[in-house]
A and B are shown apart, each in its own frame.
Chain A
């Protein structure tokens, strides 16, 4: 099945490249953010929360759009019928869109947290919550990578 899937029309390649490139950048931005936000639980909270916030805002968020645009673009070319959509596609949609909402929420929370810490309020609960949410989003996207590449039925 995957071998057949790998032999695809040439005009699917560029949308797939956009989708995969966006997804890899998204996961990279999330890993940078999660690492920083979790480090901030124990030390230098203001610095690490700020770094985590910037990674989410400047790397993960633009990458999410690249990934999502690529996904929709290639979906439009594959012409799946509504009754015959494979399970992995549903997993992809769910993780991409729910993950996008969670990502947005995480950015807002860590942004407020970073701002409060800059004003000298000390370690922020919002920054910590952002770390937990970013970890959940990252785990969701790891499941998506499994579903997209392995394509389970």
Chain B
């Protein structure tokens, strides 16, 4: 394998990390939609922990290795239309995903605080509200759609 092939593998592996993390987050978001007890929500947050690392690795990796690939390959330039479109989609996905994730971060902190106070088994309306926050859900929908469009852009390479 040549250097370009390794770069391509690292770029694709980063994309897999990113999409995989989104799949884990969505699985949890759907499964935990009606959860209101801290003890239950903390179980889901434990499953999300590796995905939280993967989403950071995937987001940074796709950008770094993607730009590196565009510089390394003679066939592509960073200012090609489809590369610029990918950069815009990446920024939308990262920005909305990060903002959407903040609400779940707050829910996790609340659940940990309530559990620390010995109220892990008691239903919490505040926790339920955070876990069902529609704004956070829509931000995550936009983020996921941007990632899907990124994938389409990467495969179709319009204008290349």
Contacts and interface: CB of A to CB of B under 8 A. Distances in A.
A and B form one complex: yes
Interface stretch (A77-85, A100-108, A109-117, A143-151): A143-151
A149 B20 contact: no
B15 interface: yes
B58 to A, nearest CB: 10
B151 A20 contact: yes
A10 B159 CA distance: 12
Question: Size range of the interface on A?
Answer: 35 or more
Interface residues of B, number: 38
Interface in B37-56: 43, 46-47, 49-51, 54
Interface in B1-53: 1-2, 4-6, 8-9, 11-13, 15-16, 19-24, 27-28, 31, 43, 46-47, 49-51
Contacts of A16: 155
A47 interface: yes
Contact of A146 (B9, B20, B75): B9
A1 B27 contact: no
Interface string B66-89: 000000011100000000000000
B24 A28 contact: yes
Contacts of A148: 12
A31 B73 CA distance: 32
A62 to B, nearest CB: 12
Contacts of B160: 7
A39 B13 contact: no
B157 interface: yes
Contact of A24 (B20, B27, B49, B157): B20
Given A32-B23, A54-B31, A2 B4 contact: yes
B46 A28 contact: no
B152 interface: yes
Among B23, B50, B156, find the residue whose CB has the most chain A CB atoms closer than 10 A: B23
Interface in A1-22: 1-3, 6-7, 10, 13, 16-17, 20-21
Given A7-B160, A150-B9, 6 more contacts: A2-B5, A10-B156, A32-B23, A35-B24, A35-B49, A149-B13
Interface of A: 1-3, 6-7, 10, 13, 16-17, 20-21, 23-25, 27-29, 31-32, 35-36, 39, 44, 47-48, 51, 54-55, 59, 142, 145-146, 148-152
